[in-house]
Structure formats: C-alpha cells, structure tokens
Amino acid sequence: MIIDIHGHYTTAPAPVGAWRDLQVAFAKGEGTAPDPASLSVSDDQIRESIENNQLKLMNERGSDITVFSPRASFMAHHIGDLEVSKTWARMCNDLVARVSQLFPERFLMGAMLPQSPGEDPATSIPELVRAVEELGAVTVNINPDPSAGRWTAPAITDRSWYPLYEKLVEYEIPAMIHVSSTCMPNVMHTTGDHYLNADTTAFMQLIRGGDTLFRDFPDLKLVIPHGGGAIPYHWGRFRGLAMALGKPELEEYIWNNVFVDTCVYHQPGIDLLTNIVPVDNVLFASEMIGAVRDIDPRTGHYFDDTKRYVDATANFTDAQRQQVYEGNARRVYPRLDRALTARGL
C-alpha cells in the first residue's frame, strides 16, 4: 500500500471560496458575517471536485490513500479574530471529513486548527477534540506563524504550546508544522519563499528547544513538510549550530520525534533527503494537488509525481521503500493504522 500523508483540498467547490470571500470582507469591516448555514455544497459537487483531480492523479500515479486536510493557504489565521478562525476551521474540517466519508477507501481526514495571532494555542483544543472524536481526524496541521509572516507567535517549543501537545499525545495524533498564507510584501509567494522559509525556521526552533520539548513529551510526533526545508542540504550547519548552543548531538534529540515528507520535486533532492534523513523518519507525500502543478519539460512528468523519485532513488532497498510508502505512516499515525485495519487494509 502507498500512503500519501500530505494532501490538501485545493480543489474545493467554488461556493466554498465565495463564502470565505464574504467572511474576509466582514473581517475587514465590510458587510455582515455570513451564516455558515448559507454555504451549500452537495455530495455530487464534492465527488466531482475529487474524482476529476486528486483521485484521478492518485490512480494514474499508483498511490492508494491520501491524508487529506483543508487547503493550507486558505487557513489564513491572520484574517479576522479568533471567532472568525473558529468558524472557518469548523467549516473546512467538516468539508474534508465529507471527502473521507464519500471516499472512505482512499482518503483519511486531517484537520486545521482555529489559531489566531496573539491567542493562546490552547484555544484550539476544542476543535482538535471535535475533529478527532466526531470527524475521525488522524492528524492536524499546526501553524507556527499565525501572523502570516510576522512571526509574532512563541516558538513551537514554548510552554504555551504544552496543553495542545498534551492533547495530541493523548490522542496519538502527529502534527504537521505547516504555515498558511503570507502578508509580508517581500515574502509574498506563499508556497515558495514563505513555506520553505517557515519549514527551516520551525526546524531551527526545534534545534534551540527540542531537547527540552521532547524530554517533556517523548511521544510527541511532529512532521516538517516539503522535505524538511533546509534540513538535508544544511545538516552539517544544523549540527554545528546545535553544538554551539550547547545542545546534545542533534541526532540524539531530533529523530525520535521529528519526521519529514517527500514533497521534493526533483530526483537529486530526493536522493539527498534519503541520504541524510534516517529511513525511519521519511514519510511518503506529494502535496498533490498543491504548490507545483506543471509538467517538468526535462522529464515529461509532473513535478509533484514524487513516487517516481522514491522509486528511482538508489538509497533505499525494496524493504525500505515499502517502509517509506506504508510502514512509517502506520507507525507515526496510529489512528491512521487503526482506521485502515478496520477497513481491512
């Protein structure tokens, strides 16, 4: 089985975006707050949005299951206040839950959290509980920068995050550390400079404080997406910085709790990642349909067809490849494993 742990509902039916536009206008002081009940999306609209997009490509590329969460750039936690975020998160989570209900053999739900700049991370716990207990979420996305590029939030190792982490550990839920959109004029490409900068920044926060965090939460599982940002290319720098900060050897306090995915869109990148990151810490993913949607003219294949790169790398044995495709996801995402087992998969 091939499990893709990183997919987003980037093809949601048009009424979803139209409703959000009204909510964004309200947050800017224009008009009234739209009623969540006014959003009408039929099952047929959801089926069409999935069958003609994600499911079509999954079938063509040979992946079996996708962990599916709301569109990351649409989380936009900096828009409005906490109540705006709560409403939007609830609606987006309900929508991806419907996808997993309509395609139970192909999609498992991941949830967004209703974060908001300046708000205590614990305010997200009620929606986490609802997503897990009522909707069947197997993971959540945590935004380390709800301020959309200003980085006003405490580092993800700060104790203010601890109540949320306690709940994640209780539920056996790994968290993907995933930012959303950006409002900074010189860092304006959401899936380019903002995402990749954020992945590296989050990992650097874990270097500075991860030894304490993971001592306090030895069972906490965090996923750094998009190949871990600069992790593979600058592993030597990160090790040296950890030493300069008086930390233990980096491998001693990172790889028990931190994982990276394979959302890297060329063969040399995957080869480097799989040479540096231990095989136990690599999770197959494509982010499809996401950041890069075109065909690479050099190969004739889609950039985000990451299975091709994992298949081709010489760094894995066949057994290790299957570990990346399935075994690691089942181990790191216990609720995913139980859900698949319950379905006979």
CB burial string 322-344: b at 16+ within 10 A, e below: ebbbbbbbbebbebbbebbeeee
**Predicted pLDDT at 237:** 97
Query: Strand, helix or coil at 275?
Result: helix
As a whole-number percent, the residues of the chain with pLDDT over 90 amount to 89
Choose among 178, 164, 172, 72: nearest CA to 124.
Answer: 164
Mention every residue, 6+ apart, whose C-beta is less than 8 A from residue 60.
none
What tokens does 317 get? 């044995």
Distance of CA 272 to the CA centre of its chain: 21
**Predicted pLDDT at 291:** 82
- The Cα angle at residue 72 between residues 53 and 260, in degrees rounded to 5: 95
**Predicted pLDDT at 187:** 66
Check whether 226 has a pLDDT greater than 90: yes
Contact 15, 39 (CB under 8 A): yes
Distance of CA 216 to the CA centre of its chain: 23
pLDDT in tens, 139-149: 999 999 998 88
Q: Can 287 be counted among the known catalytic residues?
A: yes
Query: Strand, helix or coil at 264?
Result: coil
Choose among 80, 79, 74, 150: nearest CA to 112.
Answer: 74
> 119, 249, 251, 287: which one is catalytic?
287
Instruction: Tell whether pTM > 0.85.
Output: yes
Mean pLDDT of 290-314: 92
pLDDT in tens, 161-208: 999 999 999 999 999 999 988 876 766 677 767 888 999 999 999 999
Contact 304, 53 (CB under 8 A): no
**Predicted pLDDT at 221:** 98
- Going by their DSSP bridges, the two strands 107-112 and 139-142 should be labelled as parallel
Query: Strand, helix or coil at 35?
Result: coil
3-state helix vs strand vs coil in the chain, percent to 5: 50, 10, 40
Confidence of residue 345 (pLDDT cuts 50, 70, 90): confident
What tokens does 221 get? 């599982």
Choose among 156, 141, 136: nearest CA to 207.
Answer: 156
Contact 99, 110 (CB under 8 A): no
Choose among 211, 190, 213: nearest CA to 143.
Answer: 190
Contact 315, 274 (CB under 8 A): yes
Distance of CA 210 to the CA centre of its chain: 19
How many residues are present in the chain? 345
pLDDT in tens, 229-238: 999 999 999 9
pLDDT in tens, 74-97: 898 999 999 999 999 999 999 999
Q: How many CA atoms lie within 13 A of 223 on its CB side?
A: 27
Contact 275, 230 (CB under 8 A): no
Mean pLDDT of 97-106: 97
What tokens does 206 get? 């874990």
pLDDT in tens, 326-337: 999 999 999 999
CA distance 135 to 303: 32
As a whole number of Å, the end-to-end CA separation of the chain is 8
